[in-house]
Structure 1
Amino acid sequence: MKIDSTEFGSITIDGTTYSHDILIQLSGEVVKRKKKLSKKYYGTSHIISLEEAEFVYEKGCNTLVLGTGQYDNVKLSPEAAEFFEHHGCRVILRPTPDAIETYNKTRGKAKAIGLFHVTC
């Protein structure tokens, strides 16, 4: 699995383009991000809530690469950051164009999951 590219509003993985935020699970399965898990708490999907962190996390992962959007607008809530830390999961936050490179490099070396915001 390789993330090919991203542009505002989309991300392309192994030749398939997704026009929504995505989560790449440990298995490599690509699923649509459940933004509502954060939006209901903060009124925006730009802050990752504890509930979304619990959904994203998979037992056995040690790295989350978080694509924070084309303009670096997504952040972890303090509760989400504490959750990942408690589970020994390093979080790498990068603007999505940089995060795809990080994910591609990290995937083979770590048990990594990826969460990618494709707009702002």
Structure 2
Amino acid sequence: MQPTIDSTRFGEITIEGKTYTHDVVIGLDGTVRNRNKRLSSAQYGTSHILSLDEAHDVYAAGAALLIVGTGQTGYVELSDTANEYFKQHGCHVLLLPTPQAIETWNSVEEAAIGLFHVTC
């Protein structure tokens, strides 16, 4: 069961009553963990472009949808190789500013994973 995201504001996201002050990934099983931004930063010098290495880290077999909260004003994007990786695995990707992404997350019924950037 996926957890409910309560709210977000610049620098934080609250999930099931717990506030996180860093980017998070939510797995198919509902676990919340730190986003491993270093995987993208090592390649692009920024965590605003999701690399193929980070795509491997985020993806879970059986996920039909990845919801990416691109930040409060929408800076995060997928690299071409990460986008292709998700397509090859049949995982549709939605890129939305984080406030809109949490609304979508809370209403989705398919097998979803999430990555939520809490700044920018």
Q: TM-score, normalised by structure 1?
A: 0.97
2:107 counterpart of 1:100: no
* Moved segments of 4+, more than 4 Å: none
Q: TM-score, normalised by structure 2?
A: 0.97
For residues 98-118 of structure 1, what are the alpha-carbon distances to aligned partners after superposition, in whole Å with 9 as ceiling and x for unaligned? 000001111xx1000000000
Residues 17-32 of structure 1 aligned to structure 2 (within 5 Å): 17-32=19-34
The whole-number CA distance in structure 2 between the counterparts of 1:42 and 1:105 is 33
The whole-number CA distance in structure 2 between the counterparts of 1:63 and 1:110 is 7
Residues 73-112 of structure 1 aligned to structure 2 (within 5 Å): 73-106=75-108, 109-112=109-112
The whole-number CA distance in structure 2 between the counterparts of 1:27 and 1:80 is 22
Structure 2, unaligned stretches of length 5 or more? none
Residues 21-100 of structure 1 aligned to structure 2 (within 5 Å): 21-100=23-102
2:13 counterpart of 1:11: yes
Equivalence for 2:116: 116
Q: Could you say what the CA RMSD is over the residues aligned between the two structures, in angstroms?
A: 0.4
Structure 1, unaligned stretches of length 5 or more? none
Report the count of equivalent residues. 118
